[in-house]
């Protein structure tokens, strides 16, 4: 089964690499072509968040391990943690953003690569973190001012935060981080080498290309929806049906639709309420990043406890 996942993910990486190049060149050649924030939001609320829409099923498995029969305990805990993250972000946005970026760095690096790495040790976890740095640092490196502009729209007005960011940018610390990400990708590629590991470099160059040609939000949307989310969904499909990928895909879509629609519904309500006090694009950015942060923390905690207790 693992070889099948590797093969599918390699094909997926190759297709994503080609489409990233084609799309980026089209945008580059047509200077007036801009991708609206609304399109990014629609993609994230549909394809993007769908890869976490089976968390309630994983929650049932976790409760079963602890001999807890009442499923509402999981829902209440998950919702409470999501709301808590949003509340903390409002109170201390700068610290919340830093923690979110650190957690997201590890999460992206791990989820995009772990199907190629069998050994689960601290060193590999560190490699996952360094690999994920590229996703966070590439938009800052190629579009520093635009990225800072996004941070400001996320309720962050801490001058110390921006002074630190400027210091990091001027002293080439971002380049050092990207170099560490490159080294980790090379190491993961050559360790226990096999052809299917070419997906590591295809993903690496895709992320660079997207962030070089596209704005930070558009580049992140394409990565998050069409690389990260689809890759995670592939693993979920195999969990549902190990023998028939097509059937597993159908079942996954059927199971994912309810929570995807529910999450999108509440997100749109939040967008409507925020639009009364902020600009439309500013409200979208808050929904995308603060909303993703609120969903990412319970999602990662669930994955961690499930992985730890199902060994």
135, 203 in Cβ contact below 8 A?
no
Query: For residue 45, which phi and psi values (nearest 5 degrees)?
Result: -75, -10
Residue given tokens 């946005």 in the structure block: 93
Q: Is the dihedral of CA 189, 192, 193, 195 positive or negative?
A: negative
Q: Is the dihedral of CA 141, 143, 145, 148 positive or negative?
A: negative
Say how many domains are in the chain: 1
180 vs 19: CA distance, rounded Å = 26
150, 194 in Cβ contact below 8 A?
no
pLDDT in tens, 34-54: 678 899 999 999 999 888 888
Query: What residues make up the domain containing 191?
Result: 2-309
Q: Is the dihedral of CA 199, 201, 207, 213 positive or negative?
A: negative
55: exposed, middle or buried (C-beta count within 10 Å: 0-12, 13-18, 19+)? buried
**pTM score of the predicted model:** 0.90
308 vs 6: CA distance, rounded Å = 23
Two structure tokens written together for 189: 């590629």
71 vs 17: CA distance, rounded Å = 41
What pLDDT score was predicted for residue 310? 67
What pLDDT score was predicted for residue 141? 94
309 Cβ contact list (under 8 Å, min separation 6): 62, 65, 66
pLDDT in tens, 150-196: 888 887 777 777 788 888 888 889 999 999 999 999 999 998 888 98
2 vs 33: CA distance, rounded Å = 41
Residue given tokens 């769908």 in the structure block: 50
pLDDT in tens, 205-260: 999 999 999 999 999 999 999 999 999 898 888 888 888 888 989 999 998 888 88
């Amino acid at each position: 089964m693992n070889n099948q996942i590797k093969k599918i993910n390699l094909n997926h990486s190759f297709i994503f690499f080609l489409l990233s190049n084609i799309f980026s060149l089209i945008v580059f050649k047509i200077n007036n072509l801009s991708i609206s924030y609304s399109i990014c939001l629609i993609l994230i609320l549909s394809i993007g968040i769908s890869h976490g829409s089976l968390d309630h099923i994983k929650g049932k498995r976790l409760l079963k391990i602890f001999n807890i029969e009442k499923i509402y305990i999981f829902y209440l805990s998950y919702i409470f943690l999501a709301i808590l993250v949003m509340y903390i972000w409002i109170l201390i946005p700068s610290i919340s953003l830093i923690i979110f970026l650190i957690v997201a760095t590890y999460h992206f690096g791990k989820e995009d690569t772990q199907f190629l790495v069998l050994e689960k040790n601290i060193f590999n976890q560190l490699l996952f973190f360094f690999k994920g740095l590229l996703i966070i640092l590439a938009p800052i490196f190629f579009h520093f001012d635009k990225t800072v502009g996004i941070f400001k729209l996320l309720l962050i007005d801490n001058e110390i935060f921006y002074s630190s960011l400027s210091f990091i940018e001027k002293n080439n610390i971002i380049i050092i981080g990207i170099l560490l990400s490159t080294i980790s990708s090379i190491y993961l590629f050559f360790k226990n080498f096999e052809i299917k590991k070419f997906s590591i470099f295809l993903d690496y160059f895709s992320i660079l290309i997207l962030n070089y040609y596209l704005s930070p939000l558009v580049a992140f949307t394409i990565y998050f929806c069409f690389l990260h989310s689809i890759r995670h969904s592939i693993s979920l499909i195999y969990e549902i049906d190990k023998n028939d990928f097509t059937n597993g895909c159908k079942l996954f879509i059927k199971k994912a639709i309810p929570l995807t629609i529910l999450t999108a519904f509440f997100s749109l309500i939040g967008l409507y309420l925020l639009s009364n006090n902020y600009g439309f694009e500013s409200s979208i950015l808050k929904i995308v990043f603060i909303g993703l942060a609120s969903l990412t923390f319970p999602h990662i905690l669930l994955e961690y406890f499930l992985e730890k207790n199902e060994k």
